[in-house]
Amino acid sequence: MTLKIYGIAASRAARPLWVAHELGLTYEHVPTPYAGGATRTPEFLQLNPNGHIPVVDDHGVIVWESMACALYLAQRYTAADGSGLAGQSAEVLRWTFWAVTECEKDALSVLMHTQAMPPDRRRPELAQEAASRLQGPLRILDLHLQRPYLAGERFTVADVCVASVLSWIKPMPDLLGDKPRLAAWLKGCLERPAQQQVRALSRKV
Ligand SMILES: N[C@@H](CCC(=O)N[C@@H](CS)C(=O)NCC(=O)O)C(=O)O
């Protein structure tokens, strides 16, 4: 039995995949797509009754919800050299929940209505409205980033979770124009080798 991560890399499965690559974990990638019915088969619904990717199957321990998958792996595993991504839990938890509740919906709207949906279905005004709602939370994060990473001096799973969500606002670079610390932090996170490996994976499957 191996650690399995279900979900194509071009999806929220990128979150647990990013953690796995940061830690150099041995895992089996099952690139279940979210379109075409693969998340509605009886076998898949047995894993996640919500019918969503990602799912982590850690030797029989099943985890779904992408942030929970990322946090679980960071808690459960370390890299071969003993380093890890777990970080101070108060910071990790508050920033991860913050990303999901304060940013994710609007960040997704920015992505969908600028880039991800076919041009004839995009509604630029919805991207603009989402971008204005994001200004407040993004300013808060910019202010917090007077330190190198979200939880302090070291890159942790909090950075994975928050950067995964905020990578969706890249098509609107103006959102970051007046937030230099946030812009530099996000660039640094997205340039990390593990994140590049996951992006390469998303171009393959
Ligand atoms: N809150 C869930 C959302 C999962 C989700 O919506 N995943 C999408 C792909 S990114 C999916 O599986 N969509 C297929 C569907 O809903 O049928 C999480 O973070 O894991």
Question: Can you give the three-state secondary structure of 180-192, one letter per residue?
Answer: HHHHHHHHHHHCC
Are residues 97 and 168 part of one domain? yes
Tell which one of 40, 47, 53, 109 to mutate to probe ligand 1, the residue whose CB is within 8 A of the most ligand atoms: 53
Asked whether residue 171 is domain-assigned, the answer is yes
Mean pLDDT on 184-193: 98
Name the strand (E) or helix (H) holding 56.
strand 55-58
Judge whether residue 46 has pLDDT over 90. yes
Identify the CA nearest to 104 among candidates 194, 9, 15, 22: 15
Tell which one of 8, 12, 165 to mutate to probe ligand 1, the residue whose CB is within 8 A of the most ligand atoms: 12
Judge whether residue 75 has pLDDT over 80. yes
Are residues 93 and 78 part of one domain? no
d(C-alpha 31, C-alpha 98), whole Å: 28
Are residues 68 and 150 part of one domain? no
Q: What angle in degrees, to the nearest 10, is found between the helix axes of 14-23 and 66-76? A: 20
Are residues 98 and 39 part of one domain? no
Strand order in the sheet with 55-58: 28-30, 3-6, 55-58, 61-64
Q: Which residue has the least CA distance to atom 14 on ligand 1?
A: 34
Helix (H, G, I), strand (E, B) or coil at 85: coil
Q: What is the mean pLDDT of the chain?
A: 97
Residue 204 pLDDT level (bands cut at 50, 70, 90): confident
Which of 52, 84, 116 lies at the terminal end of a domain, its last residue? Answer: 84
d(C-alpha 133, C-alpha 74), whole Å: 31
Judge whether residue 76 has pLDDT over 70. yes
d(C-alpha 33, C-alpha 150), whole Å: 31
Q: What is the residue range of 107's domain? A: 89-192
Are residues 186 and 111 part of one domain? yes
Q: Residues 164, 14: contact at Cβ < 8 Å? A: yes
Using CB distances shorter than 6 Å, the residues near ligand 1 are 11-12, 34, 39, 51-53, 65-66
Mean pLDDT on 26-51: 97
Q: How many Cα atoms occupy the beta-carbon half-sphere of 72 within 13 Å?
A: 19
**Tally of domains in the chain:** 2
Are residues 123 and 52 part of one domain? no
Are residues 106 and 41 part of one domain? no
Ligand 1 atom closest to the CA of 13, numbered from 1: 10
Are residues 53 and 97 part of one domain? no
Asked whether residue 205 is domain-assigned, the answer is no
Mean pLDDT on 98-105: 98
Are residues 102 and 184 part of one domain? yes
What is residue 205's predicted lDDT score, i.e. its pLDDT? 61
Are residues 77 and 122 part of one domain? no
Asked whether residue 74 is domain-assigned, the answer is yes
d(C-alpha 195, C-alpha 170), whole Å: 15
pLDDT 10s digits, 138-166: 999 999 999 999 999 999 999 999 999 99
Asked whether residue 199 is domain-assigned, the answer is no
What is residue 131's predicted lDDT score, i.e. its pLDDT? 98
Are residues 171 and 138 part of one domain? yes
Name the strand (E) or helix (H) holding 149.
none
Q: How far is the CA of 64 from the centre of ligand 1 (A)?
A: 10
Which of 46, 62, 84 lies at the terminal end of a domain, its last residue? Answer: 84
Judge whether residue 6 has pLDDT over 90. yes
- Residue 146's CATH number: 1.20.1050.10
Q: How far is the CA of 38 from the centre of ligand 1 (A)?
A: 12
Judge whether residue 178 has pLDDT over 70. yes
- Residue 42's CATH number: 3.40.30.10
Residue 135: left (phi > 0), alpha (psi -120 to 50), or beta?
Answer: alpha
Tell which one of 8, 34, 97 to mutate to probe ligand 1, the residue whose CB is within 8 A of the most ligand atoms: 34
Are residues 62 and 144 part of one domain? no
